[in-house]
Chains A and B, each alone.
Chain A
């Protein structure tokens, strides 16, 4: 039972991650490789405030969101003027910088040793201790994020993002300030990723920098692309796929010595086959060109 609850918590955290990345990749046509960095920023700011300054979860979360927005604007404002490919490189650079700061600033982040003993959040006066209570909490908070993301995507704002994705020049000839829209999309995406980070940290009660590497970004990106970018249901389906597939593979009777490798190979193979057969993803409508 607690295994299923654990999966539910992971699903709720990763749904927000993939849907917020989808706001960039699927809606705005911006390929960001820095998503795990914002995820990590959310996790670390929340953790540090809770552990070192004994803040509550929610005030720490608010600061984490603001921090993610601020940092995303610092990245976005210079790099969004660059052409698409260079923007990807700029986000890659940011991802790398954040990882190395988390890894090497031992005084603040405890570096590779990570930070243990993160307190569980308190909500309306009582501490969320059991895994059941945490799953309810996590689904609730993620649910709010998903609702907000859904509203954004369905609003004229989301529509304009899609128009910018399809044709920047035509969009700006209609009076749309494409830099403003892109910077807002980038900031929002980072803000939601930081909420996921806060949830992840207070759930795991221990974080270290290896959870927020480039590979993590690629993992989230694969959820978006497998599920299908550019709409709401695609990334959710993709998240279920990438989270649950390894769990399903766990039940195959593979000898323990080779099991992890075989699972990885099968996983990669399935993704390859899927991308060949359905380039727009399982539930997507937007084909990446």
Chain B
């Protein structure tokens, strides 16, 4: 069953069609890969889904609700989480604070409630700290709770961004190159995590990836995008063997950029 659906979505930048009449649907509880060369419009598509850009034409539905035109925070509260290509951790907050910000159950994020400093809110905060520590440990950053995020390496920042995303507890996760800039060992960890999220937590995942091995390993279904259009779709084995797609990807179809960028 489809949870997220795009119908004839287009976006123009100065007359150039970055996204050109794209229609796709993402299945609930599946991992869908979105691949294609640089500049194909993949990240723009994520911007459109998460409300950071508005489509010039077309409609986007999430769980049957039309969400295009909604502000990004509302789309996020509706249950679409996003991992940014350029990680975007809160640089001057600690690792722990970065994760704590993400929790949705914080009534004292309203100042008039914060004035009161009620016991149950303090308990809630304590619970959230425990949960945050769990997610920090989950991504392997334990012991670094009080380190300022800007002091982390790029790979660690990526893990932190993942922990933050998981703490936000969104049902649908859009991951923009989750393994780029991460070492081989961590790639394996991230992939296991992604599979676990789908199996155990019933998450729906959309993943943009240049690492075809990753797509082959985890994706249930793949869309191939080029010049703003969806060129083809299918199971990963089929798409990755397609001659035309290999030609567009120009011989980079077998590579595994480990510390790319």
Name A residues whose Cβ lies closer than 8 Å to a Cβ of B.
Answer: 148, 151-152, 155-160, 162-163, 165-167, 169-178, 184, 188, 230, 285-286
Contacts and interface: CB of A to CB of B under 8 A. Distances in A.
A286 B73 contact: no
Contacts of B111: 152, 155, 157, 184, 188
Contacts of A152: 111, 114-115
Contacts of B76: 172-176
Chain B, interface size category, equals 35 or more
B123 to A, nearest CB: 13
Interface in B53-99: 71-74, 76-77, 81-82, 84, 88-93, 97-98
Interface stretch (B101-109, B188-196, B208-216): B101-109
Interface of B: 50, 52, 71-74, 76-77, 81-82, 84, 88-93, 97-98, 100-104, 106, 108-111, 114-115, 117, 125, 164, 168
A170 B84 contact: yes
A173 B114 contact: no
Nearest to B124: A156
Contacts of A172: 71-73, 76
Contacts of A176: 73, 76, 101
Binding site secondary structure of chain A: helix
A167 B88 contact: yes
Given A172-B71, A175-B104, A188-B111, 16 more contacts: A152-B114, A156-B108, A159-B101, A163-B93, A163-B98, A165-B92, A166-B90, A166-B93, A170-B88, A172-B72, A173-B73, A173-B84, A175-B74, A175-B168, A184-B110, A184-B111
Given A157-B108, A172-B72, A286 B115 contact: no
A170 B89 contact: yes
B90 A177 contact: no
Pairs A-B, 10 closest by C-beta atoms = A155-B114, A175-B76, A170-B88, A166-B90, A175-B77, A156-B106, A156-B109, A172-B73, A163-B101, A172-B72
B168 A174 contact: yes
A176 B92 CA distance: 18
